[in-house]
A and B are shown apart, each in its own frame.
Chain A
Amino acid sequence: MDQITARIITNEKLTEEIYQLVFYSPELIEQKPVPGQFLHVRVSEHLEPLLRRPISIHDIDHHLMQCTLIYRVGGKGTQFLREKREGDSLDILGPLGNGFPMEEINEGEQVVLLGGGVGIPPLYYLAKELVKKEIPLTILLGYNSKEHSFLIKKFSQVGEVNIATMDGTEGIKGTVVDLITDYLNEKLLQTGSTFYACGPTPMLKAIQNEWLDTPINGYLSLEERMGCGIGACYGCVIKVDTMIDPKGYKKICQEGPVFSFREVLL
């Protein structure tokens, strides 16, 4: 990790509240960021907002030495980020955290990606890397509505995509968890399989409940307000099963943000 000044190439709207920012940074690419890692972004030079904002890496183009971030404009910090323009500099700290473990996936295994809302973007860089390993992907994506959906086309190029929306305007009506069909479960259990999920906590909790009693292997990427972003301040922690770690809490920024779905208490 390091603090890097990158140059913004584009910063554009994908939906009413989702924005995509592309920047050029050989210094970052040199550090070989992996899927699931994040950057701690300084959104303003001023005293407010003071703290950096953690944003997951959506994609890396090693050839062009570009990195793409996708973020939801919610509070003040991301409103500042939205105002950045082509040519502006961007102060980033990263790459931070541990990525999605991919080493243990065997040939012929099923891999399922589950993303909800702004939790969807980091799964794309992961999908690209898994496709390189010729692993077939089932991709389950959840949005509030068709209007709020984004990245569907991009994901369709790397796997079989199923959509759920809360209002039923695209795909089935419901959440990502409603896309876990008996057929899919059967397929997963037969082949030995791994899932990767990123999204709001209730979604991750539902996934945990769904598969805790099965032999399925899986990882969750968590989100939390962060201070330092590197493990020094103990601000962003998650409770873990004390049978697994007696410390009781793990630091999301440093020991995560990706955790085995069995170890975290959501």
Chain B
Amino acid sequence: MSGNRLKVQLGNLELQNPIMPASGCFGFGREYSQLYDLSQLGAVIVKATTLESRLGNNTPRLAETPAGMLNSIGLQNPGVNAVIEEELPWLEQFHVPIIVNVAGTMTEDYVEVAERISKAKGVSMIELNISCPNVKCGGITFGTDPQTAYDLTKAVKEASQVPVFVKLSPNVTDIVAMAKAVEEAGADGLSMINTLIGMRFDLKTKKPILANQVGGLSGPAIKPVALRMIYEVYKQVSIPIIGMGGISSAEDVAEFFLAGASAVAIGTANFVDPYVMPKIINDLPRVLNQMGVEKIADLTGEGWNLI
């Protein structure tokens, strides 16, 4: 049974397979559900949710880069009430664990969103977004200082009824220090990595292409950075890691497991191939066979063992 081979655990949460969409790349699932049955997925991570609705940044919000893209969406979302009332009840029909990405400006609004969303039916986990590079206040400022990240994680952990995974920013000097700080604060797991801050310029206007000037780099271009950071963090913490950053094939998934991931999220690749997630799920047993591995869960951190 390929089903059993792909099962993974994130703490107490069991997933039928390790594949889920990365927050912000899948909206609240409605669009991709027109193409395939979302119940095939291991879990669904929905778009960042804030206390009040947010309009997001000015346009252009996207710029293409070699093997990747920059985005500066700016957390556009309908606010926690609309997410609880309109999006989550709809998403529940697929019976897959729902992970809600929680974002904010101040500790208070992070805590309030976490409290409310963690009580909502069907929510299995919170992904705490301390790493969005595209908003002026909050977001990444919480994600670059270990003490600030510790305090926020602790406050959100106390307010939440469900496990809290903290999404780390790669835009730091010492990723291990960040990981250890949030683990100490009680984080149940880590999501890594968020996007790398980048820029592009338009030769005609001589200005940055993005209206926000800078944006988050995603796509295959960042895969080696993500792998390195997960690898560094894996041995230093004892909480599970959801790996992400440029994954677009079953082979990529296996690489993230070797580095230390227990599950993975797929973002930009959905835009290139809208069926990429079901395709990877179907393709994973083949890759496991090639590697001579029975269960994908056995691969987590294997990259360390041969050293």
Contact = CB atoms under 8 A, between A and B. Distances in A.
A232 B34 CA distance: 12
A231 B25 CA distance: 10
A70 B147 CA distance: 55
B163 interface: no
Contacts of A231: 27, 30-31
B274 A93 contact: yes
B31 A235 contact: no
Interface residues of A, number: 31
Interface string B40-56: 00000001000001011
Contact of A228 (B56, B67, B76, B270): B270
A229 interface: yes
A113 to B, nearest CB: 26
Given A52-B272, A238-B59, A247-B55, A233 B71 contact: yes
A50 B64 contact: yes
Interface string A232-263: 11111110000000011100001000000000
Contacts of B60: 224-225
A3 interface: yes
Interface in B61-91: 61-64, 66-69, 71, 73, 76, 78
Interface stretch (A41-49, A127-135, A145-153): A41-49
Contacts of A228: 25, 31, 270-271, 274
Q: Which of A2, A77, A226, A233 counts the most chain B CB atoms within 10 A?
A: A233
A204 interface: no
Nearest to B72: A235
A2 B62 CA distance: 23
Contacts of A180: none
Interface of B: 24-27, 30-32, 34-35, 47, 53, 55-56, 59-64, 66-69, 71, 73, 76, 78, 219-220, 268, 270-275
Pairs of residues from A and B, 7 with the lowest C-beta to C-beta distance, nearest first: A232-B27, A47-B67, A235-B62, A248-B55, A232-B31, A230-B31, A228-B271
Interface of A: 1-3, 42, 47-52, 77, 93, 224-238, 247-249, 254
